[in-house]
Amino acid sequence: MAARVSVYVGEDHPIYLAGLVRALRRRPEFDVVGFSSDGRDALEEIRRLVPDVAILDENMPGLLGNEVLKAMRRDGLPTRVVMLSASADSAAVLRAMADGVSAYLTKDSDRATICDAVAAVARGQTLLAPQRGQRLP
């Protein structure tokens, strides 16, 4: 049996966080090792746990998702990041890519899409999912 993928979730909306954690736990290949609604707390936990993949909300209190990502890269953490955002603004996507994000998804993505993205990122893939009809420069 293949090793399970350890996943950490940083998301400040309680209902969205609970649904995301529940969806991940339903997939046998994932092991949710922690979650937080605050970016600063998420960073400390990610540093301590060093999960395979971290799902980060772009807009969290304490530290924004991209600030957490930058700190992780500065610290040399191998954790790959799936960024979740309420919008797919081209500038935000490009900024996240420059910061080292492995996947960028909008929050209107369904459970299967998010879980599939986590699995793909754990395998070393990079994914971008802009809103339908939107083009990235």
DSSP assignment of 60-109 equals -SSS-HHHHHHHHHHTT---EEEEEES---HHHHHHHHHHT-SEEEETTS
Question: What pLDDT does 7 receive?
Answer: 98
CA 117 to chain centre: 9
Q: Is the pLDDT at 134 greater than 60, yes or no?
A: no
pLDDT tens sequence across 8-28: 999 999 999 999 999 999 999
Q: Is 111 helix (H, G, I), strand (E, B) or coil?
A: helix
pLDDT tens sequence across 25-48: 999 999 999 999 999 999 999 999
The Cα 24–Cα 27 span in angstroms is 6
Question: What pLDDT does 2 receive?
Answer: 61
In this structure, which amino acid lies at residue 86?
A: A
CB 30 within 8 Å of CB 58: no
pTM, 2 dp: 0.90
pLDDT band at 129 (very low <50, low <70, confident <90, very high): low
List, in sequence order, every residue forming a beta bridge with 9; answer none if it has no partner: 35, 55
Q: Which range is least confidently modeled, 65-69, 98-102, 131-135?
A: 131-135
Question: What pLDDT does 137 receive?
Answer: 39
pLDDT tens sequence across 68-120: 999 999 999 999 999 999 877 778 888 888 889 999 999 889 999 999 999 99
Give the domain ranges of the chain: 5-126
CATH top-level class of 5-126: alpha beta
The Cα 22–Cα 20 span in angstroms is 5
